[in-house]
Amino acid sequence: MRDLIRKLLIEIGEDPDRDGLKGTPNRFEQAWRFLTSGYKDDADKLLNNALFEVKYDEMVLVSDIDFYSLCEHHLLPFFGKCHVAYLPDKKVLGLSKIARLVEMYSRRLQVQERLTTQIAQTIFEKISPLGVGVIIEAQHMCMLMRGVEKQNSRASTSSMLGCFRRPETRMEFLDLVLNGKRSR
């Protein structure tokens, strides 16, 4: 990776040997190993020992999970908030595992749509809930920095599975997410 970055620096007209850039290939490699560390994990490993049998049949909501990912088209960051909810059927996930799941999938090269469905699908498969809903609101540096879109424009994506496809469940989810925003 360091050689590649050295070449990249030369390619854009820089001097990779000047003081400020000497350590850059090394720093870049470390940063990128971290930002793409989600490839080392998989959902089974992550959720191991965190599935619980409970008698709870109301909606579970974890909102405003911060995430940082890299768009696979430009290798530039996109970041924002992720809201995850599900309606359990006998099994629940450890709450912290939901945030870890978001982290695992966001530390890979992504498109926002796939990130959204991967989180929803994984929860749907692992604990067979009655339904899952995931909403992601994000800002993409490839849009903001290149001036393709207006500043502060946000992209929203959602994935609704099972009973979350029903209007009343979907509305309850959206209402909980929006109300959380109003009270902040």
74 or 90, CB closer to Zn ion? 74
Binder to Zn ion among 21, 99, 111, 142 (CB under 5 A)? 142
82 or 87, CB closer to Zn ion? 82
Residue closest to Zn ion when measured from CB atoms: 142
CA 173 – CA 25 distance, rounded (Å): 44
- Asked if 74 is part of the footprint of Zn ion (rule: CB under 5 A), the reply reads yes
Catalytic residue among 82, 112, 118, 172: 112
Helix, strand and coil percent figures for the chain, each rounded to 5:
45, 25, 25
Edge-first strand listing for the sheet containing 77-87:
109-110, 60-71, 77-87, 131-140, 155-162
Give every CB contact of residue 46 below 8 A, 6+ residues apart in sequence.
Answer: 97, 100, 101, 104
121 or 139, CB closer to Zn ion? 139
Catalytic residue among 82, 103, 110, 140: 140
CA 99 – CA 83 distance, rounded (Å): 10
Catalytic residue among 71, 103, 118, 172: 71
- Does the annotation count 71 as an active-site position? yes
Binder to Zn ion among 9, 43, 65, 71 (CB under 5 A)? 71
- Asked if 111 is part of the footprint of Zn ion (rule: CB under 5 A), the reply reads no
The residue ranges that bind Zn ion (CB under 5 A) are: 71, 73-74, 142
